[in-house]
Amino acid sequence: MLPETPTLAPTVAPPPPTAPPRTARPAPTNHDAGDKLIPYYFVIRGQFSIFPPTPQLDFDFASDVDGDAFFRGLTPVGQPIFTVREDFIMTPRTAYHEIGHAYEALLQRKDASVDWRAKYWAFRGFPGTWQQAAAEAATMTGMGQWIHQPQESWAEAFSVSIVGGGQEKTLDYGRTINPVATKAFFMSLLNGAG
């Protein structure tokens, strides 16, 4: 009888050690990064009378949170609320993008019977309705969703129109923005036109 040869079984490597859960950075208790948005706000305040004298700045948010800056709505008296990531270096495009969100909210507060976003959608000549685009965006995740969201298109267009040029980061449906005409459109909304 022959000696039995051992069967070579694959060696199972032990699983890598599990890293301990990452501790979230503490939330800042200042708005130092947010303060850098203020000069841009005053530029817009000088051109668009609907903006109140000052915005409200919430505390900056921690650097380990996604996003650069956010418009967080309006206070009960209509002040736009902004917050900025603590380590973000403010840029004109980002400031005017967030202020663009505030502009839409202020118009809505002024006259909720007007579909301001529909006026924007028609001005840009985008296909379908903004509601259809929003429904499509809702089926997506991450940046794909953001790129398709109509409110982000509005804010991007506002930013490009104020800066005077640049590439939109949202879907433009092949209709490249004309910054001068777009700024004139946004200004016309102050009078209910558009």
Which of 63, 79, 113 represents a domain boundary (last residue)?
Answer: 113
| pLDDT band at residue 108 under the 50/70/90 scheme | very high
> Domain for residue 131, yes or no?
yes
85: containing domain: 27-113
What tens digit of pLDDT does each residue of 74-83 get? 999 999 999 9
User: Which residues touch 41 (CB under 8 Å, ≥6 apart)?
Assistant: 51, 54, 55, 80, 95, 99
Q: How much is the pLDDT for 4?
A: 67
Confidence class for position 46, pLDDT limits 50, 70, 90: very high
- Picking from 113, 144, 166, the residue at the C-terminal end of a domain is 113
Q: Do 47 and 107 lie in a common domain? A: yes
pLDDT at 112: 96
> Are 35 and 109 in a shared domain?
yes
Instruction: Indicate the pTM of the whole model.
Output: 0.87
Find the mean pLDDT for residues 87-107: 98
Same domain, yes or no: 32 and 109: yes
| Over residues 103-113, mean pLDDT | 98
